[in-house]
Amino acid sequence: MTEPQKILAFATPVISVVLDHDAGFNAELARVIRARRDVSEGVMRSNVGGWHSDTRLLHWAGEQVAPVIRRMVELADANIVDTQALPGERRGWLLEAWANINPPGSANAPHVHGGSFWSGVYYVAVPEGEGGEITFDDPRLPMIEMHAPMLRFRDSGGERVLRIKPVASQLLLFPAWLRHAVEPWQGEGERISIAVNLTAPPLKR
């Protein structure tokens, strides 16, 4: 008789890394984002009480944000298998990015990023304070709630909700269809982040 084998099926990747950027890098990026806010009202999306820039960040902050975008693309490439691509062929990504400035009390309502494959966020400034966690809802939640919601699978990772309290220079990459939100933050100063959508275009042949 063999030992039981546990097969963990249908994993949902949430990739986290803290980039090796010094305070000067983030301070300059924050300056550029605040300067954009000074001349733009921004838009309303999932933001509740915070400022959400237009989605042209790659144009007005391209040079400053390039190292972050480059690392995000590297992670996106490293964590997919393209079943249509030939050996050595790379599909590439269509990129859309924006900035968020969240003062105390602000949050982001639950949402997904339709029409993209990956979504990512980079934290430019995270002052000390309570709350502000980014939360990810378990995509299997309807099935879990259907029967015995008090039970959890053993050694199978997070269930129902994953909470991450970010730090400055942290980068998160996750499926764009994974519903997420930002809990209200209470502290001093402003939290600043950059969000990116990565969309898969057709292969160029």
Does 47 map to a domain? Answer: yes
Top pLDDT among 36 and 141 is at 36
| Number of domains the chain is built from | 1
pTM over 0.85: yes
- Name the residue range of residue 138's domain: 15-199
Predicted confidence at residue 24, as pLDDT, reads: 95
Does 205 map to a domain? Answer: no
User: How crowded is the C-beta side of 191, counted as CA atoms within 13 Å?
Assistant: 34
Q: What is the pLDDT of residues 91-118, one digit of tens each?
A: 999 999 999 999 999 999 999 999 999 9
Predicted confidence at residue 12, as pLDDT, reads: 94
Per the prediction, the chain carries an average pLDDT of 94
Does 5 map to a domain? Answer: no
Does 9 map to a domain? Answer: no
From 19-23, 29-33, 59-63, 146-150, the region with the lowest mean pLDDT: 146-150
From 100-114, 130-144, 159-173, 191-205, the region with the lowest mean pLDDT: 130-144
Does 3 map to a domain? Answer: no
3-state secondary structure 128-190: CEEECCEEEECCCHHHHHHCCCCCCCCCCCCCCEEEECCCCCEEEEEECCCCEEECCEEECCC
Does 142 map to a domain? Answer: yes
